Structure 1
C-alpha cells in the first residue's frame, strides 16, 4: 500500500536525504484520494520549508523524549519487560518468513519498519499493524495532544486500518490510563540489603 510506504518514509529520522525523501512521497501521493493521503500531503507541505536539522530536532523532541510517544510498538503492550524480548524475536521471525531482512540498526518493532513490511507484504503486514493497533492509537492520541507536524502522520496510518475493534479500544484505553507493563527483576525487587 502506498500509504504504508509513504508513512514509513515520513516517520524515519529526517537526515540529509530528507528533502529528496519528502519530494518522493509527495510525487507518489499525487492524485491518491482519501483522508490518509491528504494528511500525508499536508505533513509534506508543512515541512517543505523546514531545514533537515530543524526537523530532526522536532523529531527527537516528538519521539525520543517520551515513552508515551515512542515509535517502538511492542513498548506499548510489553513495556520494558522480558516479554518484550520474545515479541521482538517473533517480529524478526515473521519478517524472515516472508523473505525480508530489515535494517538491523533498528529494532523490529520500529513502526516505520512495520509499515514498510506492510507495503511489501500487504496481508501479513496489515495483520501485524492490526495486532499493534492499540499502540498505534495510543501514539496517535499522544501526538494529537502534543501537536507538531507529526500529528498528521499517525492518523493517516490509523485511517488505513479502518475502525478499531472494541477489544483494541479497551486495550488502548488501558495503556493510556496505566502505561505499559513494568516488572521488577533482580536484587532491586527484593529491597536493599543492609
Structure 2
C-alpha cells in the first residue's frame, strides 16, 4: 500500500485529491497538511511513502518543504503539484529534492500513475516540464564532463546512466544483473561523489554530460 500525505493550503483541492486517491486500491491518504511546515512535521511523525505537495503555500512553501524533507533520515518521495508556470518552479523544485512535477489540470489517471511511479522510484514529470527541460538543454552550450564524474567507477557510471534513464533500483538491478541492495549502495556512493541531493539531480547531471548515450540498446529494459 502506498501511503500518501497531501499538502495544499486549499481545503477544496485536498478534498478532491483525497477522494481521487481513495479510488485506488493500492493508495491510502495518511494525513493532510495546509502548509509546508505542517507537512514536514507530519512526515516526521508518519513517514509516508509519497508527499503530494503544492508549490505555493503560506509560510514554508513547497520548495522549502521539499528541501527539509529531503534532509530527513528516511525522506519520502516528493511529487510537486501546482497551477503555476512550470518553467518558474520546475528547476527549483527538482534541485530541492522533488522527484516529480505535475500541473493541477492533470487528468485523474495521470495523477494516480504519477503517485505510483514516484513511489516506485521513477520520475514523474508533466509533459510541459519535460518540454521545458529539453528546450533548456538545447539552448545551452554543448555539455562538458563535470569534474566530479571521473571519480565514478565504471560500474557507478553504468548505474548513473540507468538513473538518467529513469529506472528504479529494481530495474537497474535487472539491467546490470545486480542485487537491489548492491544497486542501493552504488546509488548512495554516486550521490555522495556528485554532491547530489536527489536522483533527479544526478540524472540531470548525467544528461548534461551526455552519458545516456553510453547505454547500449540491448541494455534497455
TM range (shorter): 0.3 to 0.5
Which structure has more helix as a fraction of its residues?
Answer: 1
Structure possessing the higher relative contact order (Cα contacts under 8 Å, 6 or more residues apart):
1
Q: TM-score, normalised by structure 2?
A: 0.31
Q: TM-score, normalised by structure 1?
A: 0.34
